[in-house]
Amino acid sequence: MDAKQLEDWLKQTSQSSTPFILKKPLIMGIVNITTDSFSDGSSFLSVEKACEHAYSLIQHGADIIDIGGESTKPGAVRVPLDLELERVIPVIHELRKHSNTCISIDTYKPEVMKAATEAGANLINDVYALRQNNALATVAQLSVPVCLMHMQGCPQSMQDNPYYEKPVMEEIVQFFNERIQACVDAGIARNRLILDPGFGFGKQVSHNMGLLHHIEKLQQFALPILLGASRKSTLGILLNKKVNERLIGGIAIAVFAALKGVSMLRTHDVDETAQALKIIDAITQAA
């Protein structure tokens, strides 16, 4: 999927009256250029290795490559701006030389958003949902799509006994009502927004299961829904499995999410996810 196809997809998804449940989700493949990501830290620190991994994900079915230079796992250490730029910008430049596949920049820093977009990124993926200083204005100026994620707290402390007074999906819906309005008020086109309920971000296992069970409630916004549950600790707790043994659990969630109308799946396991979605799509098309 190139930038023009992504723009068309966003417009169709936000304007279509067809239930999202009938649409095959896009796949966002993860490339972490970090030392401390929970699943693949230090695996793709060089430009060469990061690009090789990205090309492999594209070959296996990734529609979008999500590049991040700072881990947002629970307890992650913040990365200085210059180091994050040093990690991600050369990779984006190199990928853009050889591929027109959409690139997403996973960052909350306005400076990285701007530099990454200038280097060739087509989408911003922000765990803070543009709540950092100058983030709203920057994205409005850049005029690119953005994914807004719900997170209680910050990565450094979000898993220190997260608590919700209301059912978790009620709070997520309220959060998105506020963030969508903030984006529109800042001059960001509504049909450029994607919503991520933030599986694993400031949520206990019961919260994650609750948001999955009720994820179709986000369809009230008539915007694409992104879900990222791949290899996360909730799967480890439920299955008693290590990070590299959580594939089946991740695929089960991907299938469930697709049948619930999720529009995009962020995953480490692109090939396996693509296979699962291909079967679901074949069944849906037959119906």
Rounded-to-integer distance, Cα 247 and Cα 165, Å: 32
Angle CA 132–86–230, to nearest 5: 65
Q: Is residue 286 part of a domain?
A: no
192 is catalytic: no
Tally Cβ neighbours within 10 Å of residue 80.
9
Quote the tokens at residue 126: 């922000």
Catalytic residue among 23, 203, 231, 266: 266
Single out the catalytic residue among 109, 179, 192, 232: 232
Alpha carbon distance 262, 225 (integer Å) = 5
Do the Cβ atoms of 26 and 33 come closer than 8 Å? no
- 63 inside domain: yes
What CA–CA distance (Å, rounded) separates 60 from 40? 18
For helices 247-259 and 205-213, angle between their N-to-C axes, nearest 10 degrees: 30
Residue 287 maps to a domain:
no
Active site residue 266: yes
- Residue 40 has a pLDDT of 57
Q: Poorest-confidence range of 14-28, 106-120, 159-173, 200-214?
A: 14-28
pLDDT at 198 over 90: yes
Measured distance CA(168)–CA(45) in Å, rounded: 36
- Residue 77, pLDDT > 90, answer no
State the CATH number of the domain containing residue 144. 3.20.20.20
How far apart, in whole angstroms, are the C-alpha atoms of residue 112 and residue 124?
10
pLDDT band at 52 (very low <50, low <70, confident <90, very high): very high
DSSP class of 127: T
Domain interval for residue 73: 3-281
Burial label, 282 (beta-carbon count in 10 A; 0-12, 13-18, 19+): exposed
Please count the structural domains in the chain: 1
Q: What is the pLDDT at residue 190? A: 96
